[in-house]
Amino acid sequence: MKLALLLVSIDPSIGGVMVFGDRGTGKSTAVRALAGLLPPMKVVTGCLYGCDPAASGSWCDACRAKYKDGHAPKAHASPVPMVDLPLGATEDRLVGALDLERALTSGEKAFEPGLLARAHRGFLYVDEVNLLEDHLVDLLLDAAATGENVVEREGVSVRHPARFVLVGSGNPEEGELRPQLLDRFGLAVDVRTPESIALRIDVIKRRDAFDRDPTTFLAHWAKVDAKVRRSLEKARARLDTVSVPDAVLERAATLCSQLGTDGLRGELTLLRTSRALAAFEGDDVVTTEHVRRIAAMALRHRLRRNVLDDADSTTRVERAVSDLWGATKDVA
């Protein structure tokens, strides 16, 4: 899960992360910790949506109108947002509320931004996404895919940028996820309660230390955090220069074809995720080894059910990888 989160924050175009697994395994803590690690972002002062002063192409209508003469907006630094979507949230809470009466009588748009606006340029975490109402899930996925939120009420419409990394969690035993929903997450990972006694003890000790004295705990880990932050910044800067040889793409496509994934989202995700991994590790060229390491998280949720094969999806991906590339030497 940590690797998946790091990779999508290096290249958000990979898409969101779906986390399967048990409750109480620190999923939301991990997302919150990652948002805290990321360097603060510059936002246009006074903008309701936290527009990026350097990206005028993606500004909201208000920023566009205000700075159309070309003078640079005032900006300040702000932490990367990490927004929790509670299960009982209403549609208005998610997309924002439009006060029609005020809009019609005074002519001004009376729009109260929702959680999608707050998550812009950050993370939106949805615990138990499989229990969320279908129409809310659709709204979420539409916004995540288009990078904007459109609210329309009786002829009045408001649109604003909403580019965020969607992180969903869910326990498949408590409600099936629609396949068309799953396919729209870039990566999928499994988080299980640790079986190793030593690891369990380590986790509860750290948790207890944090609860007793958060300041000392954070100071103790500050160096490690700073190191991860630097690696992330370097990886983002390097991403555009990492090349992907055709031979590696061919292997990615062969793997998807072997597994029978629908459409081409599988290949695209393999390409982007392995490139982000190479950037993260300081490599200039993507190799089969990079693809191999992220194959399960990029493909496991895109497999069709196979009645003749009751192995879980991670095992099926890993088996296909080793069948195809087990004994072959790297092509790049």
Catalytic residues: 265
Residue 188 phi, psi (nearest 5): -135, 130
| CB of residue 98 to Zn ion, shortest distance in Å | 18
Contact between residue 16 and residue 166 where contact means Cβ atoms under 8 Å apart: yes
| CB of residue 58 to Zn ion, shortest distance in Å | 9
3-state SS, residue 156 = strand
Cβ atoms within 10 Å, residue 323: 11
Q: How far apart are CA 8 and CA 164, in angstroms?
A: 10
Size of residue set near Zn ion by CB under 5 A: 5
Half-sphere exposure (Cβ direction) of 38: Cα atoms closer than 13 Å: 25
Task: List % helix, strand, coil for the chain (3-state, nearest 5).
Answer: 50, 15, 30
3-state SS, residue 174 = helix
Residues numbered 9 to 48 that lie near Zn ion (CB under 5 A) are 47
Half-sphere exposure (Cβ direction) of 20: Cα atoms closer than 13 Å: 18
Each residue 60-99 as x (binds Zn ion by CB under 5 A) or -, in order, gives x--x------------------------------------
| CB of residue 54 to Zn ion, shortest distance in Å | 13
Chain length of the chain:
332
CB nearer to Zn ion: give 117 or 137: 117
CB nearer to Zn ion: give 110 or 324: 110
Structure tokens at 121: 């340029």
What's the longest Cα–Cα distance across the chain?
72
CB nearer to Zn ion: give 63 or 255: 63
| CB of residue 97 to Zn ion, shortest distance in Å | 19
Residue 190 phi, psi (nearest 5): -110, 130
CB nearer to Zn ion: give 47 or 321: 47
Contact between residue 164 and residue 122 where contact means Cβ atoms under 8 Å apart: yes
Contact between residue 203 and residue 25 where contact means Cβ atoms under 8 Å apart: no
| CB of residue 60 to Zn ion, shortest distance in Å | 4
Q: How far apart are CA 294 and CA 7, in angstroms?
A: 10
Rg of the chain over Cα atoms, rounded to whole angstroms, equals: 22
3-state SS, residue 267 = helix
| CB of residue 161 to Zn ion, shortest distance in Å | 7
CB nearer to Zn ion: give 51 or 132: 51
Residues numbered 45 to 64 that lie near Zn ion (CB under 5 A) are 47, 49, 51, 60, 63
Q: Any contact of residue 117 with Zn ion (CB under 5 A)?
A: no
CB nearer to Zn ion: give 47 or 82: 47
Per CB under 5 A, residues contacting Zn ion are 47, 49, 51, 60, 63
